[in-house]
Structure 1
Amino acid sequence: MDQQVGLGSLCFAKAPFIIGTASVVGTKEGEGPLADAFDCIGPDDKFGQQTWEAAESSLQKEALTLALGKADQKPEDMRYLFAGDLLGQLIASSFGLKTFEIPLFGLYGACSTCGEALALSAMTVAAGYADRVAAVTSSHFASAEKQFRFPLEYANQRPVSATWTVTGGGAFILSKDAKQPLAKVAGVTTGKIVDYGIKDSMNMGAVMAPAAAELIAQNLTDFKRKPEDYDRIITGDLGEVGQQILFDLLLKKGMDIRKQHEDCGMLIFDSQTQGTGSGGSGCGCAASVLSAHFLPKLASGELKRILFVPTGALLSTVSFNEGQTIPGIAHGVVLESCVSSAKKEG
């Protein structure tokens, strides 16, 4: 069976399973609409550490520890670990995960990193290069603001288009076989870099929406599907501004996803009461919401098939200060429930 589908997708002949997951978030996320769904809410946003960066490492360590425990696995059972964050040289991941001593692939796809990590994890297992792997991503509001924008003490004004970097992370354990899987990774679509010439770092939704539109269109074309073939089409970080741009771009392509679409950044916060602007963003946004909110719905059979599309803005402080544009990227992961297939086999 040829697993290559269309111009940018894979459909796995033997789909890997997600057998465990965990989410860890900060205090603001713990006050939002999904508070009851997260595995762990930190008592404060430093998670008992001295620095913001160490705090982010701590929440990654906690997320992976919880996910391994829930999957009844040990670190030595993992062949590989795919992990990433927003910080320079991926220091949240390297310092947070070093004690697990799992062979590591460090990844950077900005806020799309969770999709990249899940896609590469699934490809590795499906190809027979590993029986079990782990994927972890995180972000932290304070560490991201410190690196990309302004010191918190500056108290700069935030436009309504701005998104709020989520303090949180998610961990996922993938396996070639499972007795009680949460879901299976049926396929992936790898995104291209898309640059519409935007230079506003306070409008990440506008930067990332074109990449999301290209990815979703590619996925639907490659798999010969319509939007209604998915129970949900889920973006990671577009927020309210980016969502409308996404709808407009896809409608021009003759694709209407308005009934199926949800955005993790719009779900994790109540923008009216929490002052988070357009919504949430960051590597930890899509990861924590997928883990806490969507995977349980797949595990129960409430959702049968979803397209998970985290989106990222590929900028750095150097590129931004040199006047470069901000390209975007998105990665798509097709996740399916195992409930119906399990019943048929029984």
Structure 2
Amino acid sequence: MAYKLTSESLHTIREKENVQMVPFIEPKSSRISMNITKTADILDGIGQDVVIDGSFAYVAAGCGGLKIVNVSNPIAPAIVDYLEDGGEALGVYVLGSYVYMADGEDGLEIIDVSDLIDPVEVGQFDDGGMAHDVYVLGSYAYVADGEDGLEIIDISDPTAPVEVGQITDGGYANGIYVVGSYVYMADGEDGVEIIDVSDPTTPVEVGQIVDGGYADGIYVVGSYAYVADGEDGLEIIDVSDPTAPVEVWDLFDYGVDWDYHFRAWAHDVYIEGSYAYVADGEDGLEIINVSDPTNPVEVGQFYNEGPSYTRGHALGVLVMGSYAYVAYSVFDLAIIDVSDLTTPVKVGQFDDGGTA
């Protein structure tokens, strides 16, 4: 079984801002952006998304493509191999022997990883959008495709993927989660959109909620959608009626540092048991008790000490067992011991010279 970690937020393509990469500055309004002018010199890929499958992490590393990392020893993760084809790997999903990668302007790429030391691209679909995230269920890949919205691609033949459906309403699709016949989409300033995909050829939006934040990541459990909503922090939405989603709580933390950058910016969220783990920009990893969704309580936090340009930004998070795997902007992957939720401790990291 594959576990998904997402960090849809730190992308090189954005329309509304023009912010330098180093030092990283949080968004002035609602959308994160970068203007990378020396990619070849300063970056070896930007870690955007990670899936853990067994003892291996599959990292969508921006311009660095797909990286395969052995994480069997959390204290000393090690690179196994990589595949780079000139795209911008932003999202990744693993199912069986295939990696499905949202590769920016290169669309959806399908990679055979049956031999981990020799990954091979076997299929691709590109229609001119900007693929940010991907979720696979059954014979379909559901792609959050930026301004192109949701794209549904038939992957029954991995060597020849075919688009069968699409829907967009003017938002910016960043993150995606699929449960049954519904797609839950983090759609930027358009909030959360709920789409009925019972007929994949004719997806229909059935519900939406907008509250002024910037929906970046999403995780759905039971009757609730947990949304990483940028400056608005963690939002909890009752989706028991998909046609009428209702916000039941939000929890935000306006951390502002000495150089007036916004520290807290919720990029991603992962739910494990009664706890939400939020990748919260410079405020690092936030651990929140959501046993009562109407009254969440923060119980623990991890962040790097130091000034803004060395502290880094937590961009994505996944929890498995006693460890949280956090994509950080100062190293590809931080591995944090969360056995004591009130005192999370970093025990290892993977850094091949790039910036997460």
TM-score normalised over the length of structure 1: 0.30
With a CA cutoff of 8 Å and minimum separation of 6, indicate the structure with the bigger relative contact order: 1
Q: What TM-score do the two structures reach when normalised by structure 2?
A: 0.30
Larger relative helix fraction: 1
Answer 1 or 2: which has greater strand percent. 2
